[in-house]
Amino acid sequence: MIKNDLLLKALKGESVERPPVWMMRQAGRYLPDFMKLKEKYDFFTRCRTPELATEITVMPIRQIGPDAAILFSDILVVPQAMNIEVEMKPGVGPWLPNPIDSAKKVEQVVVPDVNEELSYVFDAIKMTKQELNDEVPLIGFAGSPWTILCYCVQGQGSKTFDKAKRFCFMNPIAAHTLLQKITDTTIAYLKEKVKAGVDAVQLFDSWGGLLEPKDYQEFSWKYMQQIIDALKDEVPVIAYGKGCWFALDKMAKSGAAALGVDWTCEARNARYLSGGKITLQGNFDPARLYSKPIEIKYMVNDMIKAFGKDRYIANLGHGILPDIPVDNAKAFVDAVKEYKE
């Protein structure tokens, strides 16, 4: 039995004494110990070495004390497994030297045997579970098929992902073929993560908000729904779409255990749009962690009051920024832990 099961209770909709708290990208660059490893090993070496992935995953549990661990990995290990070359360039971020920008290239993309290509992830999960020793739950994750497609077609990060959108609108058949291949791979990948021991999974649709609502249904949500359908009976699924407030009503009926919201959507609007019965996660502005710790505490209290303590998971609205002081990250976590009605 997991000693601290607040997250699992919140995902089931059970009443809790206070909301659980964790942070997206909590195993990351704001931690000095993470930076020491970053100097020694490149990004994908850290992902592919179970001992390093475990050490990084557990780091924030020991140092800032959230109520859940999230496996250190990256959404782009999925396209890597699908025979798409992905590099992580310092100062640039994700870099795909051969973007998948034609129907012919889509045909060459494979749906791999995840046990062959991604066994290092499952090994890291087993090792992390041992290291955590049932202290807190472990979350596994994957990118949404649309978000993965964005990188595969654009070839790098972007504010607009204009090439990805152009590809979808000019070559919809090829785009849907690629989205389905990513979906099939992601389902197999997450099912193996569950077998390896994760207690919950989160789908990150970081770029869903770039699509207008009809296109979101066509190119993103219907594939996320397939993943939720395949996993919801095995593990609680958290569906997070940045900027996707307009889809909260559909998301709430999807079978997901919780929905992530960002800081542009107020708590009462998120509750209203999602029907008021599903667990919500979020939605502290990551940049607000630059504020003084005492201000963070007051803002966290206001956030919890706005969402209500039940059916709620305190989190950021997106990933923690790399230059946030550790004390400020800790102030955020502590403020949730100290919350009293």
Class of domain 6-337: alpha beta
> Tell me, what amino acid is at 161?
F
How would residue 191 be classed by pLDDT, with cut points 50, 70 and 90? very high
What is residue 261's predicted lDDT score, i.e. its pLDDT?
A: 98
Which 3-state string (H, E, C) describes 247-296?
Answer: HHHHHHCCCCCEEECCCCCCHHHHHHHCCCCCEEEEEECHHHHHCCHHHH
How would residue 341 be classed by pLDDT, with cut points 50, 70 and 90? confident
- Look up the pTM and report it: 0.98
CA distance 166 to 142: 24
Does pLDDT of 137 surpass 90?
yes
CA distance 313 to 307: 9
Q: Percent of the chain, pLDDT > 70?
A: 100
Does pLDDT of 168 surpass 90?
yes
CA distance 237 to 340: 28
* Cα dihedral 228→229→234→239 (10° resolution): 10
What is residue 104's predicted lDDT score, i.e. its pLDDT?
A: 98
Task: Taking residues 133-155, report their average pLDDT.
Answer: 98
Q: How far is CA 273 from CA 245, 249, 280, in A?
A: 8, 5, 11
Does pLDDT of 91 surpass 90?
no
What is residue 190's predicted lDDT score, i.e. its pLDDT?
A: 98
What is residue 237's predicted lDDT score, i.e. its pLDDT?
A: 98
How would residue 90 be classed by pLDDT, with cut points 50, 70 and 90? confident
Q: How far is CA 254 from CA 75, 156, 227, 230, 284, in A?
A: 22, 30, 10, 11, 24
Task: Taking residues 144-172, report their average pLDDT.
Answer: 98
Structure-token match 């107020």, residue found:
266
What is residue 260's predicted lDDT score, i.e. its pLDDT?
A: 98
Q: Is 83 left (phi over 0), alpha (psi -120 to 50) or beta?
A: left
CA distance 166 to 211: 12
Q: Percent of the chain, pLDDT > 90?
A: 99
pLDDT digits (tens, 9 = 90+) for 284-326: 999 999 999 999 999 999 999 999 999 999 999 999 999 999 9
Task: For the chain, give every domain's residue range.
Answer: 6-337
